[in-house]
Structure 1
């Protein structure tokens, strides 16, 4: 409908959607070159587009009520997709190769908790008393969550930097009323409540996928384990 009408749409969007930053207002013929040289999250267009490779929505430059509804739905879906992407990346952010130990041979859950706690302490992620708080927490009730997984954790007030240490056990251990083969020790600071929820949610998702857990158990080295975790 012409760049003039698109500028009208831009003005309306900037007025009604102050959290959207408009990168540019361009014609369809300029789009390919623009995308090659600039990063954008999505496109709001007044004409249909083909093979742009990023999300886009087509609405009227008049931005009537039905267009606002359509745009609101589009933005909600974009936000949900971004949040899902962030959740998927949580464990990748928190797990380092030197925090993962395979073929761990221990006879009791407390020994595994102490070992992983010491790993986190030696790397500077937690204070020494974090280990004691994790053991006390485990004595109160088992942190096994089903699916061969346990998630022991200490007090977040004793965490310097958020991280997760992992033990892949050589043989399953009796952990509460369940058998556990993979232990994720959570050390999340008080300032990261969302990070904690996302991490636990992702691990719970693993526990409900037996084939994936079996795949993790079969990892031959830390690199392979981390690639699967991603």
Structure 2
């Protein structure tokens, strides 16, 4: 059995007096693909933001390999996040985003060039390398965000609706990448309405209900 990588005990999140969820308990293991399900407003994005350390205001216990997530420095937390809304640096081109992202993770120059070229070809972004992301369609912006996330070194990939606005070929490519990541022992945690694409890869489902 795979070792646990994330454990939540009595996890609670609220905004003011509004409880998003409470008494949330789960364990996620290495090499799993876990789907976060629930109706709108049940806290799927909120939970993913917490797991990605985008949100550190919550109650309960949340451990990464028995280390308190609140005490763990972000640079020591090997995760990559595909948020529901792509986030980019102002003024940088697509190519500059990809090169800059890869350069933060200790790759050599030749490795960066090879990695960037690989993902650019996989997601058909060659014609958009000199564009600013804001000039692109929603689908191409999503593909750039996915590429940036995959260029990082991580043990856990967290993704919030990663298939949104993707064409069928790009969605198929992303599923193939998910499969390879699992084969390499990576953990994937995601929410998505397009489960048909990757249903055969799902190991477990964590279902949220409003306020619970």
Shared fold per TM-score greater than 0.5: no
Higher helix share: 1
Computing the radius of gyration over CA atoms, which structure comes out larger, 1 or 2?
1
Superposition TM-score, scaled by structure 1 size: 0.28
Superposition TM-score, scaled by structure 2 size: 0.29
